[in-house]
Amino acid sequence: MNNPSDVPGGDLPWLDATGPDSALVVSTRVRLARNLAGRPFWGRNSPLDREGVVRVVESAADESPGLTGAVMVRVDGLSKRERSLLHERQVISRELAGLDASGRVRSGAGLLLGTTASVMLNEEDHLRIQAFRSGFALAAAHADAAGAEGELGQRLSFAFHPEFGYLTSCPTNVGTGLRASVLMHIPALVMTREAAKVLHGLGQVGLTHRGLSGEGSEALGHLFQLSNQTTLGKSATELLDHLGRLVRQVVEYEERARIALRRDAPTALDDQVWRAWGVLRHARALGFEEAVTLLSSVRLGVGMGILPAVARPILNRLLVLAQPAHVAQDAGTGLEDEALAMHRATVVRRLLADTEGGG
Amino acid sequence: MSLCVDCHQREAVVHLTQAEGGEVRTLHLCSRCAAERGVATDSEVGETPLGAFLAAMGSGGAMLAAAAAPDVHCPACDATLGDFQASGRLGCPTCWETFDRPLRELLRRVHGATRHVGEAPGGTTEGAAALSMPQQVARLEAVLAAAVAAERFEEAAELRDRLRLMREAAE
């Protein structure tokens, strides 16, 4: 698996900016946690148990017409670079990739990659079924994940309790096992110092938000991931509707903040956007955080008509392609700090040169 | 970078907005302290225990009752409540039966509910029969929404009819 773009979904369709509200919403992810009945959870299972999970899921997938073409990746057989690439693409968690504090990849760690959904195997739950969609598309992402879940569920017996619902290793996921996340770009709310207030005011029943894939500070690239906190007591539809309403509100607030920004500080805004564009087009070394911060200004500039015609899919994909393992992959060698920053700048310049914007 | 309001040491990466007693506030937490408060931050907190959260809420009557019987082992995987408190993770599906009472109390605090609403495995009749009427309706609604989203309109029309019949029967 030398080139991750050769696998299903490898061209990152969920970052192609074709989905609804793509100006402000980068992507939507829905995951369903499922466990196999009668088998110990992660933490109390043996390498043999974990192999059993991989085996039964693989054969269930083979028999599922809806999962034709799905590829089983043995994460525990991959190099650190390959695991990092998958993690940067968000298809596997830091823990499954063995990039957490433990620094070890667990035996049986697997990934079933389909065209519309993927399944992490032997993560905290036996199955973590995930689907990604471009833009703000909760129902579509859920339909993708539920489709794969339904196919597998016809052939596997999931642990289910008549009162508690789908049983999970951690009680915070029990019931629907559903976690939906919407990755939003809200720079104007941050710049007008409204973000904290807005996110604050939305918490009627509990909403969590965190930075881009948990990296660095919450405001890195002005990207926030909003997700449901509870999984039990409401149907999947209710949970998605609730999160969707909150996202819709944040979109409206961001649009209002952009109007205020243009009214109150048009020159500073113009300068910031063009300056970011200039640095990204000409810098010879870029850190990841710096690149993402500058990309945020460019993205804002495109959204507000300050910069013409920079292709949004490229801005989205750079969120993945500017990360360390991807930059190293592009260079074809292992790179350390300085060389990595230099090659990142090269990657950014090359991709931005492909767009016609900026003049 | 803002620091976690609980430990004042690690960087706050989780921002929990919650309503408590009519007052809305946001807590800035590192992923470990967030996990300890029972906030799901997805898999990034794999090694961080819900256990401390459990221990902290141990003053609740149900937890005390359970803690007074530390010798109870799950018949399927041999895990104890102490194991759960230490790791924040249950050992197997049977643990959910074994530790039913303390888990119920925990679910009430974490989710504000103890009863699942919605989908059951495979759409089997056994699964459906175990569900109450409102649960069956909710489940069908979810299936319907998925069918509409996937533009499977024939299926959606059929589901809509079934839903109407179920609602009429319920009245």
Q: Which residues of A102-132 are buried (b: 16+ CB within 10 A; e: fewer)?
A: eeebbebbbbbbbebbbbbbbbbbbbbbbbb
How many Cα atoms within 13 Å fall on the side-chain side of residue A228? 30
User: What does the CA dihedral A57, A60, A62, A68 come to, rounded to 10 degrees?
Assistant: -100
Q: What angle do CA B24, A264, A352 make, to 5 degrees?
A: 90
Interface of B with A in 16-45 (CB under 8 A): 16-19, 24-26, 31, 38-44
User: Quick check: B79 and B88 in contact, CB under 8 A?
Assistant: no
- Reading the block at residue A265, the tokens are 């500080």
**CB–CB contact A166 B116 (8 Å):** yes
Bigger pLDDT: A317 or B139? Answer: A317
Residue ranges in chain A modelled with pLDDT below 50: 204-205, 214-217, 357-359
Rg (CA), chain B: 21
B123 interaction partners in chain A (CB closer than 8 Å): 150
**CB–CB contact B92 A201 (8 Å):** no
**CB–CB contact A235 B90 (8 Å):** no
Residue that is written with structure tokens 């810098």 in the block: A283
pLDDT at B128 over 50: no
The conformation of residue B16, written as its DSSP 8-state character, comes to E
What Å distances lie between residue A196 and A200, A214, A253, B26, CA to CA?
6, 18, 12, 9
A167 interaction partners in chain B (CB closer than 8 Å): 90, 93, 96
**CB–CB contact B41 A175 (8 Å):** no
User: Quick check: A231 and A179 in contact, CB under 8 A?
Assistant: yes
**Of the candidates B31, B39, B89, which has its C-beta nearest A43's C-beta?**
B89
Interface probe with B: pick from A53, A99, A174, A241, most Cβ of B within 10 Å: A174
Q: Which has the closest alpha carbon to A274: A282, A284, A264?
A: A282
pLDDT at B131 over 70: no
- Reading the block at residue A325, the tokens are 């393992």
The conformation of residue A212, written as its DSSP 8-state character, comes to G
CA quadruple B69, B70, B73, B79: dihedral positive or negative?
positive
pLDDT tens-digit readout, B9-57: 877 777 776 654 445 567 788 777 776 666 655 433 333 335 444 544 4
Distance CA B79, CA B98 (A): 10
Residue that is written with structure tokens 């991989």 in the block: A54
Helices (H) and strands (E) in chain A, counts: 11, 10
- Work out the end-to-end distance of chain A between its first and last CA atoms, rounded to an integer number of angstroms: 39
**CB–CB contact B117 A154 (8 Å):** no
φ/ψ of residue B113, rounded to 5: -160, 160
Q: Other CB atoms closer than 10 Å to residue B6's CB: what's the count?
A: 17
Q: For residue A56, with 0-12 CB atoms within 10 Å meaning exposed, 13-18 middle and 19 or more buried, which class applies?
A: middle
Alpha-carbon distance B167 to nearest alpha carbon in chain A (angstroms)? 17
H-run or E-run covering A292: helix A288-303
Residue B51: per-residue pLDDT: 45
Does the reported pTM lie above 0.90?
A: no
Q: Which has the closest alpha carbon to A85: A349, A287, A327?
A: A327
Distance CA A130, CA A141 (A): 8
Share of chain B above pLDDT 90, in %: 23
What Å distances lie between residue B128 and A306, B134, B169, CA to CA?
55, 11, 16
- Reading the block at residue A302, the tokens are 């495109």
Q: How high is the mean pLDDT of chain B?
A: 71
3-state secondary structure (DSSP) of residue A112: strand
Strands A118-121 and A178-185: unpaired
Alpha-carbon distance B34 to nearest alpha carbon in chain A (angstroms)? 10
> Which amino acid is it at A354?
D
Distance CA A314, CA A12 (A): 11
Full strand arrangement of the beta sheet holding A71-74: A71-74, A110-113, A118-121, A127-134, A25-34, A178-185, A223-228, A207-210, B14-20, B23-29
Interface probe with B: pick from A93, A199, A237, A250, most Cβ of B within 10 Å: A237
Residue A337: per-residue pLDDT: 75
φ/ψ of residue B128, rounded to 5: -65, -40
